[in-house]
C-alpha cells in the first residue's frame, strides 16, 4: 500500500466523512495516510509530543467494522483528530508541555476525549504546546518549538501551537486545544486555519490541566468552518463533572450553517436572504497594528461587502477598552499563580522554563484587591460594553493578531517606530474575549507579503456560536478558491 496512500494534505472532515459513510474509503486508509504524514513531517515541524499510531490503527479497524454493520456514528466517524497535550486520554502520557509532568499518565479520559471517541473519532496523538499553556509563542524549552508550516523559521503561535501546526500541515483533520489568552486563535491565525474559542462554559474542562480556571476555554481547530461546527457539535454541552459548565442547550450546528437559505448544494446564494450585519469596533483594536496586517483586514472587509452573501459592515463604538489589559493581567496571572502554588513552593520549581517561572512570579504579586476588582467588576463592565456594541449586529469583526508570525528567536517587534514584546503583540487583540467569555472564531483572512497567513476574529453573543459559524461558512463558500490558497502551506 506504500506509495498509493491517500493524500490527506488538503482534505476536510466534510469531504472525508461523505466518503467514509458511503464506504468509498476506509477508516484504515485514512489513518494509515495520517500516520505516514505525521512520521514524514513531525520531525521537521514538531507538532506532536506523543503519536498513537498503534491504537489509532486498532480503532480504525473497529470503526470500519461498525460501518459494515450499518452503525455509522456521524461526521467524525473514522476521522483522525489530535488533542493538545494537556487534555487527558486514559493511559496516555499527558505532559502539559512540562518537565514536571513528563511522566504523568492519567487513569481516566477527559470529557472531550470521551465524547470524541463516542462519536467515532480516532485520536492519533497529543500535540506540542507552550509549557503548561502559559505562553503565546509555542516556544517550549523541554520539547522544542512547534514550527510554522508556512515558514519553519517562524513561530506557530501558542499555546495550542502544535494543534495548529498539525491541522495546517495535514497531520490531523482537526485538533482540540485550549484558549486562556488567545491560545487557539493566535496559532490558528499564524498557521492559516480556523480556530474557535467557544463561549465560556460551552465545552467541558473536566480532565484538562487548568491554567486560569475562570478564563480557560476548550475549543476546536480545523481547516474549514463546517469542520469546526462538526467537532463543536460533539464536544459541546453541559457536564456535571465541570462546575463551570453551562446548562444551555446545544443547537444542531451543522443544520444551522447549512440552512435552507442556501440554494440546493451549489455555491449560488440568495442575496436577499443571506445578509448579515457586522460591526467593526473603532476603539482599541487598530491602535497598534502592522500596516501589512491592516491591509489584509481591509481586503477581507472589502470581500464581505463585495458579494451579496454577507453585507452591512460598519463601524461601532465600544467603551471601556482601557481596562482590558489590567483586567486580563490580574485574572490570568493571579489564577495561574494559585494553580501552580504547590509546585512553586516545592523542588519542582526549578523544573519550570524561564518564561513560565517569570509569569508565575508576576502572578504571585497580584493583590487580592486587584484580582477581585478584575474578576467581579471590570470584566463585567467590559463584557456589557461589547454586548451593547453588538446591539443590532450579528457579530463584531476585528483582527486576530497585529503581526504575522515572528521568527523563532524574535523577542520584540517594531510597528511604525514603536517596539513591543512578541508576547504582548500576539495576544493584544485576543485576551478581551477570554475575560468576557464571548465566542470568537479565527478565520484565515489573507497572506502578508504573499507568504505568511493572518486571520480575523468574528465575535458573537454568548452561546451564539452557530451565528458566527454561519457567517464564516457563508464567506468560505463564496471564496472557496481563496481558501484553498490560504489553508495549504507548501510544507
Q: What is the mean pLDDT of residues 255-280?
A: 63
Residues in the chain, overall count: 491
User: Residue 418 in 3-state DSSP?
Assistant: strand
Q: Is the pLDDT of residue 263 over 80?
A: no
Residue 491 maps to a domain: no
Q: Is the pLDDT of residue 135 over 90?
A: yes
Q: What would the grid cell of residue 143 be?
A: 520539547
Cα 357 from Cα 100, distance rounded (Å): 13
Q: What is the mean pLDDT of residues 130-134?
A: 98
Cα 455 from Cα 85, distance rounded (Å): 24
Cα 97 from Cα 119, distance rounded (Å): 27
Phi/psi of residue 219, nearest 5 degrees: -160, 170
Q: What is the pLDDT of residue 267?
A: 42
Instruction: Give the model confidence (pLDDT) of 65-113 as tens digits.
Output: 999 999 999 999 999 999 999 999 999 999 999 999 999 999 999 999 9
Q: What is the pLDDT of residue 88?
A: 99
Cα 128 from Cα 138, distance rounded (Å): 8
Q: Is the pLDDT of residue 274 over 80?
A: no
Residues 6+ apart with CB under 8 A from 19: 25
Read off the CATH number of the domain in which 220 is found: 3.90.1300.10
Cα 410 from Cα 420, distance rounded (Å): 11
Q: What is the pLDDT of residue 309?
A: 54
SS3 percent helix, strand, coil of the chain, rounded to 5, is: 40, 15, 45
CA end-to-end distance (rounded Å), the chain: 23
- To the query of whether residue 84 is one of the catalytic residues in this protein, the response is yes
Cis status of the peptide bond prior to 329, with omega within 30 of 0: no
Residue 2 maps to a domain: no
Active-site entry in 26, 160, 183, 427 = 183
Active-site entry in 26, 159, 168, 425 = 159
Residue 32 maps to a domain: yes
Residue 160 maps to a domain: yes
Residue 7 maps to a domain: no
Q: What is the pLDDT of residue 266?
A: 40
Cα 69 from Cα 467, distance rounded (Å): 36
Cα 326 from Cα 371, distance rounded (Å): 10
Instruction: Give the model confidence (pLDDT) of 175-193 as tens digits.
Output: 999 999 999 999 999 999 9
DSSP letter (8 states) at residue 249: P
**Angle in degrees, 0-180, between the axes of helices 324-339 and 379-389, rounded to the nearest 10:** 130
- To the query of whether residue 9 is one of the catalytic residues in this protein, the response is no
Residue 8 maps to a domain: no
Q: What would the grid cell of residue 163 be?
A: 494543534
Q: What is the pLDDT of residue 307?
A: 63
Cα 177 from Cα 98, distance rounded (Å): 16
Query: What are the distances in angstroms from CA 253 to CA 195, 236, 250?
Result: 15, 10, 8
Q: Is the pLDDT of residue 353 over 70?
A: yes
Q: What would the grid cell of residue 487 be?
A: 489553508
* Inter-residue contact 225 to 456 (CB < 8 Å): no
User: Residue 388 in 3-state DSSP?
Assistant: helix
Active-site entry in 84, 147, 197, 205 = 84
Q: Which structural domain range is residue 203 located in? A: 13-486
Cα 208 from Cα 113, distance rounded (Å): 10
DSSP assignment of 28-45, as one string?
A: HHHHHHHHHHHHHHHHHH
Residue 263 maps to a domain: yes
pTM over 0.85: yes
Please tell me the total count of domains within the chain: 1
Q: Is the pLDDT of residue 281 over 60?
A: yes
Longest CA pairwise span in the chain (Å): 65
Residue 4 maps to a domain: no
- To the query of whether residue 183 is one of the catalytic residues in this protein, the response is yes
Amino acid at each position: 500500500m506504500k506509495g498509493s496512500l491517500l493524500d490527506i494534505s488538503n482534505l476536510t472532515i466534510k469531504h472525508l466523512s461523505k466518503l467514509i459513510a458511503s464506504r468509498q474509503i476506509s477508516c484504515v486508509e485514512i489513518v494509515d495516510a495520517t500516520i505516514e504524514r505525521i512520521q514524514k513531517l513531525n520531525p521537521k515541524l514538531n507538532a506532536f509530543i506523543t503519536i498513537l499510531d498503534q491504537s489509532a490503527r486498532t480503532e480504525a479497524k473497529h470503526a470500519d467494522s461498525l460501518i459494515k454493520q450499518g452503525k455509522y456514528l456521524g461526521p467524525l466517524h473514522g476521522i483522525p483528530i489530535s488533542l493538545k497535550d494537556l487534555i487527558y486520554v486514559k493511559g496516555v502520557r499527558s505532559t502539559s508541555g512540562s518537565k514536571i509532568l513528563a511522566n504523568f499518565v492519567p487513569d481516566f479520559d477527559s470529557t472531550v476525549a470521551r465524547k470524541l471517541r463516542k462519536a467515532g473519532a480516532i485520536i492519533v496523538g497529543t500535540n506540542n504546546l507552550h509549557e503548561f499553556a502559559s505562553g503565546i509563542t509555542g516556544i517550549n524549552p523541554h520539547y522544542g518549538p512547534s514550527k510554522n508550516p508556512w515558514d519553519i523559521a517562524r513561530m506557530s503561535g501558542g499555546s495550542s501551537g502544535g494543534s495548529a501546526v498539525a491541522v495546517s500541515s495535514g497531520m490531523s483533520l482537526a485538533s482540540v486545544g485550549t484558549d486562556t489568552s488567545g491560545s487557539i486563535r493566535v496559532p490558528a491565525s499564524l498557521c492559516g486555519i480556523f480556530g474557535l474559542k467557544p463561549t465560556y462554559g460551552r465545552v467541558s474542562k473536566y480532565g484538562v490541566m487548568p491554567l486560569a480556571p475562570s478564563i480557560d476555554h476548550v475549543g476546536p481547530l480545523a481547516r474549514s468552518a463546517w469542520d469546526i461546527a462538526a467537532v463543536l457539535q460533539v464536544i459541546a454541552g453541559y457536564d456535571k463533572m465541570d462546575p463551570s459548565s453551562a446548562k444551555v442547550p446545544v443547537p444542531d450546528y451543522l443544520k444551522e450553517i447549512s440552512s435552507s437559505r442556501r440554494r440546493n448544494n451549489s455555491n449560488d446564494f440568495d442575496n436577499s436572504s443571506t445578509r448579515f450585519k457586522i460591526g467593526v469596533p473603532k476603539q482599541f483594536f487598530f491602535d497598534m497594528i502592522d500596516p501589512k496586517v491592516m491591509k489584509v483586514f481591509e481586503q477581507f472587509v472589502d470581500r464581505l461587502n463585495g458579494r451579496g452573501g454577507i453585507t452591512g459592515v460598519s463601524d461601532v463604538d465600544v467603551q471601556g477598552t482601557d481596562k482590558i489589559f489590567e483586567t486580563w493581567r490580574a485574572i490570568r496571572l493571579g489564577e495561574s499563580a494559585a494553580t501552580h502554588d504547590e509546585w512553586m513552593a516545592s523542588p519542582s520549581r526549578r523544573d519550570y522554563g524561564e518564561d513560565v517561572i517569570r509569569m508565575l512570579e508576576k502572578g504571585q504579586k497580584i493583590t487580592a484587591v486587584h484580582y477581585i476588582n478584575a474578576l467581579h467588576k471590570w470584566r463585567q463592565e467590559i463584557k456589557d460594553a461589547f454586548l451593547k456594541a453588538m446591539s443590532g449586529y450579528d457579530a463584531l469583526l476585528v483582527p486576530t493578531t497585529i503581526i504575522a508570525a515572528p521568527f523563532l528567536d524574535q523577542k520584540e517587534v517594531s510597528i511604525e517606530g514603536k517596539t513591543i514584546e512578541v508576547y504582548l503583540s500576539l495576544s493584544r487583540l485576543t485576551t478581551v474575549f477570554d475575560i468576557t467569555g464571548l465566542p470568537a472564531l479565527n478565520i484565515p483572512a489573507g497572506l502578508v507579503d504573499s507568504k505568511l497567513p493572518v486571520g480575523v476574529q468574528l465575535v458573537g453573543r454568548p452561546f451564539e456560536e452557530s451565528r458566527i459559524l454561519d457567517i464564516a461558512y457563508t464567506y468560505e463558500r463564496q471564496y472557496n478558491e481563496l481558501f484553498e490558497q490560504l489553508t495549504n502551506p507548501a510544507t
